[in-house]
Amino acid sequence: MKFKLKLMRLIIGITGSTGVIYGIKMLEVLKKLNVETHLIMSEWATKCITMETDYQIDYVTSLATNTSDEKNMASSVSSGTHKVDGMIVVPCSMKTLSSIANGYDDTLVARAAGVTIKESRKLILMVRETPLSPIHLENMLKLSRIGVVILPPVTEFYTKPKSIDDIVNHGIGKCLDQFDLEHDLYPRWGSF
């Protein structure tokens, strides 16, 4: 009998909220960690990439193992029979948060997140907005109560970040911790 080492498989959704650098850096790190990724980018994510960064869309998609168009509701990740370990939406717009919280699968990101929830897999939403309205908070609370991890990229200062990369790496590292993926993206409390 042969045993095959199972690689971790994650769906990565990048939506049109400011902070797309988090999604790009997440893909770079996951590629280095040999994690299989399935990328879905919203239309506004691609626009934010060109507005906020110097990265090209082709480079971002090249970081993923597989990609699907956000309108492709026949994609493998739209079904619970497609086995993955979880999903990270990084960044997660309030529109996407609302779609997920209310089961309105209008895009593949929302559908894949809904499937992740119904299959009891880990879902992390790196929500990006400030200030937060009562509607945003209610949607986050609704999802948190069913086990979705709400992980806004809150800057920490105990590590004395010296660059934007330091700040971004901390947010990414916090997501990776949720999947027990080893990394050295930031120093642990008490290790410095």
Query: Rounded CA gap, 70 and 110, in Å?
Result: 9
CATH T-level assignment (fold) for domain 9-178: Rossmann fold (3.40.50)
pLDDT digits (tens, 9 = 90+) for 21-65: 999 999 999 999 999 999 999 999 999 999 999 999 999 999 999
Residue 4 has pLDDT above 80, yes or no: no
Given a cut of 90, whether residue 156 has pLDDT beyond it is: no
What string of DSSP letters covers 71-119? T-TTSGGGSTTS--SEEEEEEE-HHHHHHHHTT---SHHHHHHHHHHHT
Please state the domain extents for the chain: 9-178
The pTM of the full predicted model, rounded to 2 decimals, is 0.95
> Tokens 């049109």, residue?
16
What is the tens place of the pLDDT at every residue in 76-126?
999 999 999 999 999 999 999 999 999 999 999 999 999 999 999 999 999
